[in-house]
Amino acid sequence: MPVTTEVRVRYAETDQMGIVYYANYLVWFEIGRVEVLRTLGLSYHKLEVEEQCILPVVEAKCRYRAPARYDDQILIEARPALLRGSVLKFAYRILRKAPEGQEPALLAEGETTHVVCDGELNKKPLPERYAEALRALMVDE
Q: What angle do CA 124, 90, 40 make, to 5 degrees?
A: 80
Q: Give the CATH number of the domain where residue 109 resides.
A: 3.10.129.10
**In the chain, what percentage of residues exceed pLDDT 90?**
92
- Work out the average pLDDT over 75-95: 97
In this predicted structure, the answer to whether residue 77 has a pLDDT above a threshold of 90 is yes
Average pLDDT, the chain: 95
Question: Catalytic residue numbers?
Answer: 15
- Work out the average pLDDT over 64-71: 97
Range of the domain at 99: 3-139
In this predicted structure, the answer to whether residue 139 has a pLDDT above a threshold of 90 is no
- Work out the average pLDDT over 71-87: 96
Q: Which residues contact 105 (CB under 8 A, 6 or more apart)?
A: 66, 95, 96, 98
- The pTM of the full predicted model, rounded to 2 decimals, is 0.93
The count of structural domains within the chain is 1
Q: How does DSSP assign 18-63, residue by residue?
A: SBBPTTHHHHHHHHHHHHHHHHTT--HHHHHHTS--B--EEEEEEE
Residue 49's alpha-carbon distances to 44, 45, 46, 54, 61, in angstroms, are: 9, 6, 5, 9, 28
Task: Identify the pLDDT of residue 140.
Answer: 58
pLDDT band for 75, please (50, 70, 90 cuts).
very high
Contact status, residue 66 vs residue 22, Cβ threshold 8 Å? no
